[in-house]
Structure 1
């Protein structure tokens, strides 16, 4: 869906005669695609040094590999930081058709997979967070086209350049629905009075109106030594500084369930690619942090400096995809999970006791 630049209810925030200092591209999905369906699944181990989680990891991988309802694209990770247990294995899968997505979900049954572990299940947690996004409420941005991450793997996609970048409010402008929707903060966006225990519980729930999800990635596989060291010793540290601020101030920033994920190759080996992925209370919360807080200004200025230093030879690619979700478009499920996992502390969830 193309972004409407004229005859909008709410005008673009783009300054007059704006010219971006660096080129950027966006994702144009095939005309047949009107929604993106996204599923995150994670397996965590509560006790270090045990291998109980490996059975579930194998089960989930085999389930994803089945032909029936196979996703369009799958990425695999390990959690390194954030609202989860470090070293948890995570998958994100994407579909472009509702029938394949719903068919696959029906066969997932997290609680059954957990119970089938027998005595091993006590030290293992299993969770999923899934949502569907109308393309008019989807926003993407890519600093280059050297790599196709996330939903950009959808066959038949195009990547037109754009000038809705490098000014405050550009992200909102890139959401097609922003021409008629302000994505107001919902009155029901309240935190639970007390957080569930998580372990020993089966927790389920869904999102309130205009909650947003972001996956923001960094790929530096093709960087030479000079650029790799420049990224890892400078910009990456600024990025993590911004993430720490979000984790340390979740109520102020609206950070609900943000993880840093290390991408893995097909053999399970870490590669030079990471992403931050998680939910936020509202798009306005992200805008406030990104436009005003020193931790994000350091990231933004660092990225501009990196681009200027390496110019046309730059191989570092940064990108993101954002979904603005209407009430009920996201669902959360946690089986025997640590209480710091995902949105457990931040979204009202129904709790059922598990038989341990």
Structure 2
């Protein structure tokens, strides 16, 4: 793998002699990993019952269990801006060829492309991200809870010195040493694509930025559980709501806050946010300056300092800056406000 620090031509954001106020960890790979696939597969309908009665879950779970299935799968649900219930799987591969074989599986391919998917009230969507390792960064509050891409072997955690200051997220992305990762376009005007009964592919621009961040409070007891549910959680929900309501102001094209569920469907004391920003700079601007995120950040630092290693809440995130090409954003029989369907150039497949 290329050592981007040796090639650095863009100054690091880390202040001179800065020491992180609390410990933070990033993923390190114990063997060479060049490219990761993070794929979101979702189904939407006016009600939870409609999604549950469809065969989406059964088909996807059977496909995931096949020989070329993902290294890790998580699942959850959310209600979107149009009031539709969405169930989503998040699947990870570290072997691109394995993922290609999996998507080409005859049964899954036939089911997904069956014309019957264009009828009825069930919408399907998949957002398949192909991310070179040098275009991603991860951050975990503690090394004892693996989640997200960290569940893929052969990951391990290492302390990072790039945390606790604004700009640290960019510094943790290896490619930022030689690339400003800037967007080449202004905020796109939304369009209304009538996707009922059709399939659409959306063509996303280079350096579109993705963040998935998580919160795990199952092991929080007493005082710390109350703090999260009464103080921290409302701050998180306020921040995500602001991003969803003001896309042009924030550069956030799509924001989802999902509740995680077990394999059997039981809700977990865990959630994750999944958002698309026009650029890394837009994500940084909101993180560094907007009152909603500053309130989240300050409270998190306060609790980390108060509890230290006894902190029971587990938080984490992974950020990707997508390269040009290789991504697949497909929406089948979905309402016009689904994901990135309202933005960028698109191709109608049926």
Q: TM-score, normalised by structure 1?
A: 0.91
Selected match of 2:177 from 176, 179, 191: 179
Report the 3-state secondary structure (helix = DSSP H, G, I; strand = E; otherwise coil) of the residue aligned with 1:11: coil
Aligned counterpart, 1:23? 23
Query: Is 2:259 the counterpart of 1:254?
Result: no
CA gap of 1:48–1:38, structure 2 versus 1, over 3 A, is: closer
SS at match of 1:33: coil
Question: Is the alpha carbon distance of 1:38 and 1:90 closer, same or farther for their aligned partners in structure 2, counting shifts above 3 Å?
Answer: same
1:242 and 2:242 equivalent? Answer: no
CA shift at 1:181, angstroms? Answer: 0.5
What are the equivalent positions in structure 2 for 1:158-307 lying under 5 Å apart? 158-187=156-185, 191=188, 194-307=191-304
Task: Select 1:311's aligned residue among 308, 313, 317.
Answer: 308
Structure 2 equivalent of residue 336 of structure 1:
333
C-alpha offsets along residues 150-196 of structure 1, whole Å, 9 cap, x if unaligned?
Answer: 11011121211011011110100000011100001113x66256220
Alignment partner of 1:286: what SS? helix
The 1-side partners of 2:298 and 2:144 are apart by 22
Q: Is contact 1:211–1:324 with CA below 8 Å preserved after alignment? A: yes
CA distance in 2, matches of 1:249, 1:103: 39
Deviations 1:271-325 (A, max 9, x none): 0111101321100000111111111110110111121232221111111001111
How far, CA to CA, are the matches of 2:47 and 2:221 in structure 1? 38
Aligned twin of 1:144: 142
Moved more, 212-221 or 54-63: 54-63
Matches of 2:329 and 2:121 in 1, distance apart? 21
Distance 2:48 2:154 in 1: 43
What secondary structure is seen at the aligned counterpart in 2 of 1:332?
Answer: strand
| Distance across 1 between alignment mates of 2:110 and 2:333 | 10
| Shift of residue 50, structure 1, vs aligned partner | 3.5
Shift of 1:244: 1.0
Rounded to whole Å, the distance in 1 between the matches of 2:82 and 2:190 is: 21
User: Can you list the C-alpha shifts for 1:231-261, whole angstroms capped at 9, x where unaligned?
Assistant: 0111111111111110111012111222111
Contact kept, 8 Å, 1:52 with 1:124, in 2: the verdict is no
Deviations 1:94-123 (A, max 9, x none): 1111111111122343874553469xx411
**Residue 15 and residue 190 in structure 1: after superposition, are their counterparts in 2 closer, same or farther (change >3 A)?**
closer
CA distance in 2 between counterparts of 1:246 and 1:3 reads 35
Check whether the contact 2:190–2:343 (CA below 8 A) recurs between aligned residues: no
| Counterpart contact for 2:210–2:319, Cα < 8 Å | yes
Q: Which runs of 5+ in 2 are unaligned?
A: none
RMSD of aligned Cα (Å): 2.1
Distance 1:190 1:53 in 2: 38
* Count of residues in correspondence between the two structures: 348
Counterpart-to-counterpart distance in 1, 2:305 and 2:199: 50
Secondary structure of the 2:85 match is coil
Counterpart position of 1:37: 37
2: distance between equivalents of 1:297 and 1:190?
A: 24
Gaps of 5+ in 1: none
Counterpart contact for 1:79–1:85, Cα < 8 Å: no
CA distance in 1, matches of 2:83, 2:200: 17
Structure 2: how far apart are the matches of 1:84 and 1:166?
Answer: 36
The change in CA–CA distance for 1:47 and 1:140 in structure 2 (over 3 A counts) is closer
- Quick one: distance in 1 between partners of 2:144 and 2:84? 29
Give the Cα separation in 1 of the matches to 2:117 and 2:179: 46
In structure 2, relative to structure 1, the CA distance for the partners of 1:20 and 1:2 (3 Å cut) is farther
